[in-house]
Structure 1
Amino acid sequence: MVELIGLRALVVEDEGGVALLIEAMLEELGCEVVASVGSLSKALEIAESESFDLAVLDVNIVGGLVFPVAEVLRRRRLPFVFSTGYGRMGVPDVFKDCAVLSKPFAMADLKQALRLALQQPC
């Protein structure tokens, strides 16, 4: 089983309350949140330059859809999980093998999705 304790996480979420909830869940799972951003431009900047182990990406954020960030993470071979109210239908086929969390989700769902992403990055 993949261990989450000590992993550094990026959170991309534009709704403040939801971002805080995800951050709290990650911290309870033993992760360190290195950055939490809510806009596409800032997410791209962090994704291209910062050091972290995994990311949780809200699909629809301020500035557009998060897929350019996912492309950067894929290129850097960093695992990520999509978070969306649309479920798997909100994710294009090019990311069909990626872990997707349907909002709202529980901590157990987040834990399972992160472990999947770490074992089988898309």
Structure 2
Amino acid sequence: MRAEILELKKLGRMPNESVSDAESIVEVIKQYDDLLAKITPPLDTEDVKTLIGLFPESGFYDLQWDLLRLVESAILTDVDYKKLIDTCPSDEWREILNARFSNWLKSPKENNNND
């Protein structure tokens, strides 16, 4: 597993942002942001499993969208993508991932050799 993903795993699941967050949250945001920015696809199954486990219950200073982008990069490379989505600890983000995957399955695939 990549060093950045191991570091994210140590940080654990993103907390939910709150209007009552302490100033110290800025450092936590920076840690997640810096590590997510260093990750480039393709990702293997273990990478995606770890990243999916990081989704906050609702939102974390828009970093959940960077996380989503990385997770979705596995659609073309991982045959068990749907099973991976089902492991998401957040009901909200699991629902979003499922909806986006369903929409992707219905869309024309310009670069898909199976069409």
Fold similarity call, TM over 0.5: no
Largest Rg, 1 or 2: 2
Choose between structure 1 and 2: higher helix proportion: 2
Choose between structure 1 and 2: higher strand proportion: 1
Q: TM-score, normalised by structure 1?
A: 0.33
Q: TM-score, normalised by structure 2?
A: 0.34
Query: Which has the bigger relative contact order, CA under 8 A and spacing at least 6?
Result: 2
